[in-house]
């Protein structure tokens, strides 16, 4: 992991999951599809069904983990905003979308109040745009 997290370095790819496992499943799915088309039969169709099932498990395992992570981030950021925002802005915490909260998690405590105000006042919803606005990143080393 880099010593300082920035917009350019904040994404995390796990070679074994995002590379090797994805490649293996894709190759297996393609191979079983090719076999089922070239030599249809119970065995080849069942292999294809299994390959589709494995691909779906791979996809949903990631989707479910990201959903849980997003929920935790949303809770953490709401608590953090409650602690750091000035009173006039605290009442607006429910206005933040999930995507805005997820993007704001990288902002340092010092710049969060001003950035949060700007995000709400200008209705900035694009996560990437919000992340690009961050000047001092607060590292999130626990992301998955």
Q: What is the pLDDT along the chain (144 residues), one digit of tens a residue?
A: 445 766 655 666 667 777 899 999 999 999 999 999 999 999 999 999 999 999 999 999 999 998 998 999 999 999 999 999 999 999 999 999 999 999 999 999 999 999 999 999 999 999 999 999 999 888 776 666
Cα(1)–Cα(18) distance, rounded to whole angstroms?
17
Q: Are 142 and 134 in contact (CB under 8 A)?
A: no
Count CB neighbours of 11 within 10 A: 7
Q: Which helix (H) or strand (E) holds 104?
A: helix 98-104
Domain ranges (residues) in the chain: 15-133
Place of tokens 């494995």: 54
DSSP 31-81: HHHHHHHHS-SHHHHHHHHHHHHHHHHHHHHHHHHHHHHHHHHHHHHHHHH
Q: Does the pTM exceed 0.75?
A: no
Residue 15 tokens, joined: 């070679």
123: left (phi over 0), alpha (psi -120 to 50) or beta: left
3 state DSSP class of 92: coil
């Amino acid at each position: 992991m880099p010593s300082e997290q920035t917009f350019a370095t904040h994404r995390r790819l796990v070679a074994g999951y995002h590379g090797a496992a994805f490649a293996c499943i894709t190759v297996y799915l393609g191979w079983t599809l090719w076999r089922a088309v070239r030599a249809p039969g119970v065995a080849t169709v069942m292999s294809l069904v299994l390959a589709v099932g494995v691909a779906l498990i791979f996809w949903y395992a990631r989707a479910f983990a990201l959903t849980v992570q997003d929920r935790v981030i949303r809770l953490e950021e709401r608590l953090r905003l409650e602690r750091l925002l000035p009173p006039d802005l605290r009442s607006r915490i429910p206005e933040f979308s999930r995507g805005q909260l997820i993007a704001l998690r990288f902002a340092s405590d010092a710049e969060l109040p001003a950035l949060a105000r700007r995000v709400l006042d200008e209705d900035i919803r694009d996560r990437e745009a919000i992340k690009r606005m961050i000047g001092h990143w607060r590292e999130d080393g626990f992301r998955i």
